[in-house]
Amino acid sequence: MTEPTLLEKIRRKGLMGTLRVLWARYIYRHDELIWMERALDVPPPPYPRKCIWRKERITEAMLPAFDRYFARYKPALPTLIRSDSIGEACLDDDGQVIGMAWFRTKDYYDDQTYHCWLRLPPGRIYQFAGEVAAPYRSTGMPVLLQRERWQAFLDEGFSHSRAVVNMNNSPALRMHVKFKFEEVGESIHLYCLFNCLKFHRYSRYDGKRLEHLSRRRSSVGETPKTEVEC
C-alpha cells in the first residue's frame, strides 16, 4: 500500500483543494488531537468471533513482513519494538503483516508523528498506530487486534484504554465512537510552520464534541456484525 503522490492529490482535489494542501504542507498546519478513553470492562464487539489470520507479537525478526503493505513504517518500527511498546499484528498466508495495533502502559514521547508527550493517568493504557491494509478493511480486524489485548490489560489491573484522535480524521473518530470510546475533555493542538518548526499546546474543553456521531449511530441502530475501516 502506497500513499498518494502530491500530483495525484492535486488531480483529485482541484485548484482550491490543492492550494490548501500546499499551504498545509509547506507553510502552516494546525491539527487538534482529542483524548478519548474506553473502560476495559465494557464488553467488546463480539464479531468476528475468532481470528482467521495468524496473530503474532511484533518483533524485529518480523520487519521483512511489513514490506508489502506497511513499508513506509519500517524506519520507525525498530525504535517502537525496542521501547516499552507492545505491538500486535495479523498476518496473511504469505506471512505479510496485514494489520497492526500498538499499546503502551507508560507515558510516551511520540518522536515520530506528534512530537509531544502523551501522559497517562493511573490505570490507563495508551493505544496507537492501529492500521489495517486496504484489502482487509471492513473485515472486523480492528476488533481482533484489540479484544484480547484489552482483556489482558484488564486482568493486569488496568481500567481504561486511551487514544488520541485527529479531529480531521472522520473515519477514526467514527471507529472510536463505535468501540465505545468517550471524550475526556482534553486535547492537544499541534502546529507546524514551513514544514520544519513544530510546537504544541495542551488544552481542556467542556461538553461533548462528538455527540453528532453518537446520535447518528443511535438513529441508524446497532448492527450485530462489527465492520470497521481503519
64-110 confidence digits (pLDDT tens): 999 999 999 999 999 999 998 999 999 999 999 999 999 999 999 99
Q: What is the mean pLDDT of residues 114-121?
A: 96
All cell numbers assigned to 79: 525504535
User: What residues make up the domain containing 159?
Assistant: 30-220
Total number of domains in the chain? 1
Bridge-based pairing state of the strands 160-166 and 124-132 = parallel
Is 122 a domain residue? yes
Is 20 a domain residue? no
Write down the pLDDT at residue 63. 98
pLDDT digits (tens, 9 = 90+) for 210-221: 999 877 766 655
For residues 204-224, one letter each, b for 16 or more C-beta atoms within 10 angstroms of the residue's C-beta and e for the rest, the string is: eeeeeebeebeeeeeeeeeee
Residues 6+ apart with CB under 8 A from 181: 36, 37, 38, 161, 163
What CATH number does the domain containing 44 carry? 3.40.630.30
Is 18 a domain residue? no
Is 12 a domain residue? no
Is 40 a domain residue? yes
Is 69 a domain residue? yes
Residue 88, classified by CB atoms within 10 Å of its CB into exposed (0-12), middle (13-18) or buried (19+), is buried
pLDDT at 227 over 50: no
pLDDT at 10 over 90: no
H/E segment holding residue 150: helix 141-155
Is 11 a domain residue? no
All cell numbers assigned to 178: 463505535
- Its pTM stands at 0.84
Is 1 a domain residue? no
